[in-house]
Structure 1
């Protein structure tokens, strides 16, 4: 786990961690100096960004085809095209602005679904079914 996030990043990191770790076979480890989440040991589906490349707090996440453009068109003050992984369609989400955490949860789940094997996606779907 990340030892010392900045004080303003501690709560968003905790909330993001809760969303990511609720997914089947999700793991967390440090990648590029930040908390990052993977399906088992690999592939990565999200990474926290505590002033990593700028003066902002946020995270980046894998995204299905076309989703990055959709989120950017909705609100460029809350979403961004992240350096390095934006060219692969990942979406950046600012966490130092007011966010809709239901939308953040959707982005995290979509990121997971984008990289997870079908067996884990099937498991997630089964867990999401009302009883």
Structure 2
């Protein structure tokens, strides 16, 4: 049985909002997480357009890293609609064996890719 989407969102929210100067704002009907200066670094989608998936969507360094992640673990990663062309990657979160340490690391890496220099120079996360 798949985990409760509200419980999964609560975990994603806790991981994202634990990072410096972050906030949550709805984006296209779904929760999005951004650095206070306005750059999104993660999204949570549940059954987006009826796809049946519960995912976190995070930034990568580009399409090469995105492709590497998908090739290495296609059961976890896939190219999401809309954001995938820009190198973002979706991580499936709707399984009982979700590796939450890995999810937290990918959300933090995504934050680092979106963070302004002043936050990174101040020590980052």
Give TM class, smaller chain: 0.7 to 0.9
How many residue pairs end up in the alignment? 120
Question: Corresponding residue for 1:59?
Answer: 56
Question: Corresponding residue for 1:20?
Answer: 16
1:123 CA drift (Å): 3.1
Question: Corresponding residue for 1:105?
Answer: 104
Where do 1:60-79 residues align within 5 Å?
A: 60-65=57-62, 66-79=64-77
SS of the aligned residue for 1:71 comes to helix
CA displacement 1:51-92 (0-9 Å, x = unmatched) = 113111112111123321221112111111001110100010
RMSD of equivalent CA atoms: 1.5
1:124 CA drift (Å): 4.3
CA displacement 1:74-127 (0-9 Å, x = unmatched) = 2111111001110100010111122211111111011111111011123344x5
In the alignment, structure 1 segments of 5+ residues that lack a partner are: 1-6
TM-score by length of 2: 0.88
Contact kept, 8 Å, 1:61 with 1:92, in 2: the verdict is yes
TM-score by length of 1: 0.84
Contact kept, 8 Å, 1:24 with 1:124, in 2: the verdict is no
4+ runs of 1 displaced by more than 3 Å?
Answer: none
CA displacement 1:25-46 (0-9 Å, x = unmatched) = 1010111111110111411111
Question: Corresponding residue for 2:113?
Answer: 114
In the alignment, structure 2 segments of 5+ residues that lack a partner are: none
